Amino acid sequence: MPLYHNDDQAMLKDSVAPFVAEQAPVSHLRSLRDSADATGFSRDLWAQFTEMGLPGMLVPEAHGGLGMGHMEAGIVLEEIGRNLTPSPFLSTGVGAVAALAKAGGTQAGRWLPAIAGGEAIVALAIDEGAKHRPDRIATTATRAGNGFRLDGKKSFVLHGHVADMSIVAAKTDGGLTLFAVPRDAKGLTADPRRLVDSSLASHVTLDGVEVDADAVIGEIDAGGDILDALLAATRTGAAAEMVGVGQGAMDRTVAYLKERKQFGRLIGEFQGLQHRAAHLYGEMEVARATVMKAQQLLDEGSEGAKLMVSVAKAKAGRAANLAVREGVQMHGGIGMTDEYDIGLYMKRDRALAEYMGDVHYHIDQVARMNGY
C-alpha cells in the first residue's frame, strides 16, 4: 500500500474538509467557550456528523457502521484538528469503537450500533493521575453479587459528564478488566473541569459502583489486549488531530508572514523567519508521514503498529508543538491576544499532547520496545 491517500480516501477528505471548515470553524469553538457551554460540544453538529456516517466509520458493518480504517478516521481527525472543532469523535468513534470491536460480545452488540447511530457518547476512563500511566491502574473491581463493585478515581476523562457510557479500566483478581459503566450507575460521579483549551474533562469517582457481570467488555482479567487496542487507536487518532492542529497553525502563520509588514518589508522576506518556517514545514511533513504509517500498520493489523503508534504520538507531538510555538512567536504581539486564533491552537495542542501519553512517555516506550 502506497503511503498516500487513495482515490476513495481523497474523496472522503474532499467531503469532510469543507464540511468541518464551514460548520465548525474556530468561531464555533469560540461561541461554545463564550457561552460557557456546559456540554463541551454541539449536539447539532454531532447530529450532522451522524448524517455523514462519521461516528460509525470504524464500526464494523455487521454492527451498522461503515467498517472503515484508521487511515479514514485520521482524515476526519485532521480536519477536526485544523478547525479546533470540539467533538467526542476521538473518544467515541475511535477509542471506544476500537475496544468494543476488539472485544465483541454483549457490550459490542449493545453499544456499537448506538455509536454508529449517533445515539451514544462514550468516555474513556483510563488515567488516574496527572500523567498517563496505564500500567499503574489502581481502580479495583471486586466480585459482588451477580457482578462487580468498582472503586477508584479517574481523571482527564473527556466528555465524562455527558457520556452515555464510560469504559472503565480496573484491576481484577487475575489481571485487568474493562467495564462498560452506564451514566446512571449508582456511585458514579463525574466532576467536569474546564481545561486550558476550553474543553471539559472530568474527574470521575467510582464509589462502590455496582455493575452486572455482563458489563465486562471482552473477558474478565483479559482486558489488557482490549486496552492496548483502545490506546493504540486513541493515540494514533490524537496524533492525527495534532497534525491538523499543527497544520492549521502553520498555514495561518505562513499566511501572516506574507501580509505583515515591518521595517518597510514583508516579514516573510526575512531569512531568519524563512528558515524557521521551512524547518517547521519539514517537521510537519515528517510527522504527517509517520502518523499515516501508524494508521496503515494498525489497519493491516501489523505487529509493528505498536512501535509506530508511539513514534507517531511523539513525533506529531513535537512537530505540532513547534508549529504552535512558532505560530505565536511569528505573529508577534497579536499572537498573544485572545482575538487572534493562533493562541487557541497553542492551547489545543497542549491538551492533545498530554492526552494518552505525552512526548516523553512515548519516547520512553520506544526505548523499551527497542530493548534499552
User: How distant is the alpha carbon of residue 329 from its chain centre?
Assistant: 26
Determine if 30 is a binding residue for other proteins (CB under 8 A): no
Looking at beta carbons only, is 3 or 196 nearer to other proteins?
3
The residue whose grid cell reads 460548520 is 23
Closest CA to 201 of 158, 170, 143: 158
Tell me the per-residue interface mask from 162 to 181 with other proteins, x by CB under 8 A, - otherwise: --------------------
The SS3 assignment for 48 reads helix
Cβ atoms of residues 45 and 25 within 8 Å: no
Of residues 337 through 366, those in contact with other proteins by CB under 8 A are 360, 362-364, 366
Binding to other proteins (CB under 8 A) within 90-119 occurs at none
CA 103 to chain centre: 20
Q: Cell numbers at residue 147, please?
A: 457482578
Rounded to whole angstroms, the Cα distance separating 62 from 108 reads 11
Quote helix, strand, coil % in the chain, to nearest 5.
Answer: 55, 15, 25
Residue 3 CB, shortest distance to other proteins, in Å, is: 4
Closest distance to other proteins from the beta carbon of 277 (Å): 6
CB of 308 to other proteins, least distance (A): 7
Q: Which triple of cell numbers denotes residue 52? A: 455523514
What is the size of the binding site for other proteins (CB under 8 A)?
A: 45
Residues in 233-272 at the binding interface with other proteins, rule: CB under 8 A: 254, 257-258, 265-266, 268-269, 271
Q: Does 132 bind other proteins (CB under 8 A)?
A: no
What is each CA distance from 96 to 9, 35, 213, 259, 331, in whole angstroms? Answer: 23, 29, 19, 44, 38
Using CB under 8 A, which of the segments 1-9, 165-173, 188-196, 324-332 binds other proteins? 1-9
Report in angstroms the alpha-carbon separations of 35 from 29, 202, 235, 298, 320. 10, 19, 30, 39, 28
The residue from 30, 203, 293, 325 that contacts other proteins (CB under 8 A) is 293
> What residues from 170 to 229 belong to the interface with other proteins (CB under 8 A)?
none
Binding letters toward other proteins, positions 301-340, x by CB under 8 A: ------xx-xxx-xx--x----------------------
- Return the number of other C-beta atoms located less than 10 Å from residue 363's C-beta: 18
Q: Which residue, 26 or 330, has its beta carbon nearer to other proteins?
A: 330
Nearer to other proteins, 133 or 203 (CB): 133
Interface residue list for other proteins (CB under 8 A): 2-4, 254, 257-258, 265-266, 268-269, 271, 274-275, 277-279, 281-283, 285-290, 292-293, 307-308, 310-312, 314-315, 318, 360, 362-364, 366-368, 370-372
